[in-house]
Amino acid sequence: MQYKNNPLSPHLQIYKWQISSLLSIAHRIVGVINIIAITAICIWSLLLLLGNESYHPINFFLNTIFGKFIAVSLCWTFSFHTLNELRHLIWDLGYGFDLKVSKITGILALIGSFVFTILFYLIGKNIF
Amino acid sequence: MHTSTKKWLFTKISSLILLPLMVWFIINFVSIYDENYSEVALFFSKQPSKIIFSIFIIFAFFFSALTISEIFEDYIQDERTKNVANKLLNIFAITIPLLTILGIFNLTV
C-alpha cells in the first residue's frame, strides 16, 4: 500500500536540528537505555541468590574501569531523564511553552544533567 | 474517561512518583555497585531499601511499558506487529519486576 512508503515520525531527513528536538530524541533513547539498565540491575540482584562464590566475577567486573564507566554513565542517564521529565511535567502544567523559555530550560536540563551526575556520584561515594 | 486520557494520566502520575525514586536509587547504586557480596546482598535484603527498590522497579517497568508503547505507536506501522510488540512489552514489564521482588524477598545474608 502507498502509505507504507510515507516517512515515519519525526521525519528526521527534513528536520532542522535544534535543542528541543535533540532533547526530545535523546529523552526517548535515554529512557530505553535506562530500562535496559534497570533490567540488568534486576538480573544483578537475582544473581545474588547464587551465593558469594558466584558473585566474584561480577564484583571483579564492576571494579574495573569499564564497570566504573557504566556507573558514571548511569548517573548521567538517570540525571538527564529526571531533569527532562521534570521539564515535561512543567509543560503539562501549562508553563514554559514560550520558544525562548523552552530553549533555556532545555539547555538547563542538559547542563544540569552533568552537574547532577557529579553530585550523585560524590554523594553516593560519601565524598560530601 | 477516554483510554488515551487514562494512559496519559497514568504516565504522568508514575513519572512524578519515579522522580524521587530514581534519585534515591542512583545514589544508593553508586554507593554499593563496587562493594563485596555481603554489602550488596545487605542492601537488597534490608529494610527499607528492599521495599523502596521494589516500589521503584514496579513504577519503572509500568512507566516504561506505557512510554515504549508510544514509541511503537510512532515507528511500527503494521497493526499486527504493533499488537505483538505491545503484548511482549507488557509480559516483560510484569515478569521482570515480579521475579526480582520474589528473588530479593528470598535473599538472606
- Show the cell assigned to B76: 511500527
Tell whether A101 is within 8 A of chain B (Cβ). Answer: no
* Contact (CB<8Å) B28/A124: yes
In this structure, which CATH number among 1.10.580.10, 1.10.357.10, 1.20.1300.10, 1.10.3720.10 belongs to the domain B3-105? 1.20.1300.10
HSE of B32, CA atoms in CB hemisphere, 13 A: 18
In this predicted complex, what is the ipTM?
0.94
Measured between beta carbons, the chain A residues lying within 8 angstroms of B75 are: 8-9
Shortest CA gap A82–chain B (Å): 6
The CB density around residue A86, as the number of other CB atoms within 10 Å, is: 16
Measured between beta carbons, the chain A residues lying within 8 angstroms of B60 are: 34-35, 38
Query: Could you tell me the residue range of the domain that residue A104 belongs to?
Result: 18-124
What's the rounded mean pLDDT across residues A28-46?
97
Structural domain spans, chain B: 3-105
Which pLDDT tens digit goes with each residue over A91-103? 999 999 899 999 9
pTM, rounded to two decimals: 0.90
Which pLDDT tens digit goes with each residue over A71-127? 999 999 999 999 999 999 999 999 998 999 999 999 999 999 999 999 999 999 988
In a domain, A98, yes or no: yes
* Contact (CB<8Å) A46/B15: no
In a domain, A63, yes or no: yes
